Structure 1
Amino acid sequence: MSAVRTVLGDLAPTDLGICDAHDHLFLTSPQLPGQELDSTDLAAQELAAFHGAGGESVIQWTPHGMGRHASELPGLSRATGVHIVAATGLHQAPNYAPELLTRLRAEGLARVFVRELTEGIGGTSVRAGMIKVAGGFHGLDAHARWTMESAAEAHRATGAPIAVHLELGTGALDVLDLLCGELGVPSGKVILGHLNRSPDLTAHREAAQAGSYLAFDGPSRSHHATDWRMPEAVQALAEAGFAGRLLLGGDTTTAGARAVNGGPGMPYLLRRVRPRLELAVGKAVVEQMLTVNPGQAFAVEWE
């Protein structure tokens, strides 16, 4: 049966409802000192605010070793009524201590991914529903190739979709060349994140033509011009016939960005981004981006 694997079990793709296709309830990294998302109470408040704005599901892209708090996710889902999908995977190398990466190499990274997809995360029974990896700035270093090769192996074993952090929105075609070209992952199982951060309409169209999903997530913290160019990029893709490949997310990665701390947070996606996009492409396309497309992008034929 085709289903989206949430932290409370498998869900029909059509039952996700209004979905934030890329966000974080928990996230810690040495790259973001003092901005950790590590409070269960604040995560609950943020999730409740998202639900209050009409949100019904969240795909948490936080990967292995970055403070996922997997054991807390089922309770948060039950308490707020919001479906949550957890991730396995690995981010860029600077997010980790070298000894952790050494251990993962010895253990076998693909084996770790498969275990978290099929058995549970960190000794819990909470299973991941997707794999998150990361590219580099306009290219792929050895770490990115290792993680993507491992993700491809885990995908072949489980069918799980692979979501990719594109550094500042760049390198989409290099990622597809590796994952889909060299490694044989079906393009429809690849979600490319942060396309709004590099409004290269030609690259966007080529990625959509290849068959991957394109996630527009933000708002940006440092490249503000990309926010007002994002509707233009979405409109160009929709008019070219690719409305069915587009996703929307909030990508809240710092404590200061949370709505409960005065930032835009998860509700911003529905409070501000949705109406702005509706002006560009109409309500029907935006509704498709928030409901139908996420169910298709994150669905898997789980055993």
Structure 2
Amino acid sequence: MRTVQTLRGEIDTAALGTTLMHEHVFVLTPDLLQNYPSGWDEQLGVEDAVERLRRLKALGVDSIVDPTVVGLGRYIPRLLRVAEQLDLNIVAATGLYTYDTLPHQFDFVGPGTVGGGDDPMIEMFVRDITVGIAGTGVKAAFLKCAIDRPGLVPGVERTMRAVARAHRLTGAPITVHTDAHSQSGLVVQEVLSSEGVDLERVVIGHSGDSTDLDYLKRLADAGSLLGMDRFGLDLLLPFEERVATVAALCAAGYAERLVLAHDASCYIDWFPLGAPAEMAPNWHYEHISRDVLPALRERGVSDEQITTMMVANPRRYFEHTEAY
């Protein structure tokens, strides 16, 4: 039996069921939250998250994979308050989210610094996977890092290589936030391959922001899963183009390389309160179930292919977990 760690403990990978592979619950800035808490009510935030996720479960979704890590406000005790009230699996991550610089605590320790030595991020990530996160007992099931329009700047490369090395030590799979417009998924594959990473264990996140089939097929042909994971963010790419791209890839035989999600959250403090719903009214957990899947079926995507993208591929991602 293959298993995966969730907030409610270890489960059989078959129990993941229908899975959204890139959803946040809370995206918060801890320093600001602690010092300027105006607009945030902890109890109401938890209650709202529980209600949103209960509605998602009622639509037939069994699991969400939450890539909220350091840099996005990961706080497991808050997530546990949500998870204990749900019949839905939440899978937690470890890693670090930055587009450029690292937290200052890494300025003088680790590779390329005055202090030198091994990168402390590696041990941190490994501990989250093997022991648990911050004394909660919750173990991370996958690793997360990011690259965006600034490109492979030193802080991004150092984080990516630390993630790769933690992956090799634990077998935990990797998800990478990428900028599809600069085709940074190719950079990710080059760096991770140089660290000996099996690209079949990697999700190239936000690939669905691109309609460039040549670019997407190139990523998939190298072995990676493509995160078609920003449905609802129509400001970045309209609904019709996102759906058409997935349908075209399925028609070309790439369903086994695709995973679906929204990159949505219950609360994100990057925007004024209420702004996400106003600027992107479809950017919520229910959009795929209610709107995207019917649209894909209308364009010839079969139920078997949908099951592949939402059940089989997530399960396979979490089953390749041997260290190597």
TM-score normalized with structure 1 length: 0.88
Measured after TM superposition, the shift of residue 237 of structure 1 is: 2.0
Measured after TM superposition, the shift of residue 221 of structure 1 is: 5.2
1:71 aligned partner = 77
2:313 aligned partner = 293
CA RMSD of superposed structures (Å): 2.9
Taking the aligned partners of 2:264 and 2:85, their CA distance within structure 1 comes to: 20
Deviations 1:31-65 (A, max 9, x none): x9999896222221221121122211000010124
Does residue 1:143 correspond to 2:162, yes or no? no
Which of 94, 112, 122 matches 1:88?
94
- Provide closer, same or farther for how the CA distance between residues 214 and 14 of structure 1 changes in structure 2, counting only shifts above 3 A: same
1:245 aligned partner = 257
Aligned ranges for residues 152-171 of structure 1 at < 5 Å?
152-168=164-180, 170-171=183-184
Which of 283, 287, 309 matches 1:268?
287
1:215 aligned partner = 227
Taking the aligned partners of 1:35 and 1:269, their CA distance within structure 2 comes to: 29
Runs ≥4 residues deviating over 4 A: 32-38, 93-96, 103-107
2:12 aligned partner = 12
Mind listing any 5+ residue stretches in structure 1 that lack a counterpart? none
- Provide closer, same or farther for how the CA distance between residues 43 and 168 of structure 1 changes in structure 2, counting only shifts above 3 A: farther
Taking the aligned partners of 2:209 and 2:69, their CA distance within structure 1 comes to: 21
Taking the aligned partners of 2:322 and 2:82, their CA distance within structure 1 comes to: 24
| Paired amino acid for 1:274 | L
Matched residue pairs, number?
298
| Paired amino acid for 2:28 | T
Measured after TM superposition, the shift of residue 300 of structure 1 is: 4.2
Taking the aligned partners of 2:66 and 2:78, their CA distance within structure 1 comes to: 13
1:190 aligned partner = 202
| Paired amino acid for 1:15 | A
2:191 aligned partner = 178
Question: In terms of Rg, which structure is larger?
Answer: 2
Aligned ranges for residues 104-143 of structure 1 at < 5 Å?
108-137=120-149, 139-143=151-155
Taking the aligned partners of 1:82 and 1:95, their CA distance within structure 2 comes to: 35
- Provide closer, same or farther for how the CA distance between residues 201 and 93 of structure 1 changes in structure 2, counting only shifts above 3 A: closer
Mind listing any 5+ residue stretches in structure 2 that lack a counterpart? none
- Relative to total residues, which structure has the larger helix share, 1 or 2? 1
| Paired amino acid for 2:18 | I
